Amino acid sequence: MVVGNLRHAQVTIDERAIFNNVAAEKQRLPKETDLFAVVKADGYGHGMVPVAQAAKKAGANGFCVALLDEALGLRQALLTEPILVLGITDPEYSNIAASMDISLAVGSREWLIQAKAVLAQTVPLRPLAVHLAVDSGMGRIGFTDLSEFLRAVHYIQTNSEYFDFEGVFTHFATADSEETAYFKQQSAKFNSFVAALDDRPRYVHVSNSATSLWHEACNGNMIRFGVALYGLNPSGDALKLPYTLQPALSLTSEIVFCKEIHAGDCVGYGATYTAKTDEWVGTVPIGYADGWLRRLQGFYVLVDGVRCEIVGRICMDQFMIRLPKAYPMGTKVTLVGEDGGQTIRLQDVADYSQTIHYELACILTNRLPRNYIKI
C-alpha cells in the first residue's frame, strides 16, 4: 500500500511510553522471570521493529510473534534475542526456523513427525527449539490429551538432534474478566500437564498481559507482554490496573476544507445528517480506507480542545465534523490522543464502535505514516 506522506494524517508512536510500560512490568517481575514483548501484527499497528527495539532497551528478554515471516523480519532488523512464533507454522518451513534460531509452537505429535522429515534433509546446525502448546480451554491450538502430550515430549527427547524441548505454554480465555472460575479451571489443567513432566523445559509460560497484571502468581518463568506493552488495558475498563500504563499511539490529521451550511442542508452519503441550524462543517482527510471505521458517525474528534461531532457517514478517504466556528485550513484535528486538556482514548473509540482497542490499533492501515518519538 502506498503511504500517504503528502497528506497531513499520521499515527504517532511515543517510544518512551513503550519503554516505560516494559520497565514498569519488569520491576514487578521476579528476576528469574523473563519478559517477551509481543510484537505480532506489526506491533499491534504500532510498528514491529521500532516497538521491539524500544522494548529491548527497557529490558525485554525476547519477542513473540504470530508468523514465521514476522520472526524473520526481526532477525533482518538484527535483533538477536529469542523469538517465539505463537501460531502454528507449516512444518515445511521448520528448517528455516532452525537456521535462524527461531522457536516454534507445536500442537501435535504429527507436526513433529513431519518437521523431522524436513529437518533430516538438511540437518540444521542447531536443533529446532519448540514450545508445546496445551489447549487448557481456549479451544484454539494445542494438546488436549495428556497421554498425547507426553508422547510428543518423548518423541522430542528421542530425536534430540532435531528438536530442543524449550518450552510449554497455554493461553487463558478469561484472564481479563472479574469471573475467575474458568480461569482457575484452565490453570488447573495446564498445571496437571506440567506436573506430569519428568523434567521441565527452559520456559513454562501462561501469562499474557492480563494474566501477568491480575494473576501474577501464575506467571511461570516467562510472560508474554502484549497489549499492555502499548499502554492499553487488556480488560478495557472492566478491571483496574495495578499501575498506570502509558498509551503509545495517537492519531491526528487536519481540517482541509471548512464551509458554512444552512438549516436543512444534508451531509454525507445517504444524507444521514441534516443540519437543524446554520453551522460550520469541516472536512478531515481520513476515512475507512485508513481504518477509521464507517460506523463512527456521531462520535467526536478534538479541535482546539473542543469535542466536535462527526456528521454524516465516514467516507473511504474523508469525514466531516461540526465545528463551533470557522477554522482555517490546516487546523489540527485529534482523533486519538490529547488536545487542549481533553483526551480521546483508543478505548473510547472502541466503546462507541462496539469493538475492542486491539482491533482498532491493528486496522489502522499502512496508508497512514507512522512517526516515532524516540527515547
Known binding residues for substrate are 140, 316
User: What nine digits make up the cell of 63?
Assistant: 519477542
Side-chain-side CA neighbours of 359 within 13 Å: the count stands at 11
DSSP letters, 21-79, are: HHHHHHHHS-TT-EEEEE-HHHHHTT-HHHHHHHHHHTT--EEEESSHHHHHHHHHTT-
Residues 6+ apart with CB under 8 A from 120: 162
Distance CA 368, CA 36 (A): 28
Find the helix packing angle between 109-122 and 146-157, rounded to 10°.
Answer: 20
Element (H, E) at 120: helix 109-122
Annotation marks residue 352 as catalytic: no
End-to-end CA distance of the chain: 28
Whether 296 contacts 310, CB under 8 Å: yes
> Which residues make up each annotated binding site?
140, 316
Q: Which of 26, 40, 56, 116 is catalytic?
A: 40
Q: Which of 184, 243, 259, 269 is catalytic?
A: 269
Annotation marks residue 269 as catalytic: yes
Residue corresponding to grid cell 441550524: 277
Active-site annotation, residues = 40, 269
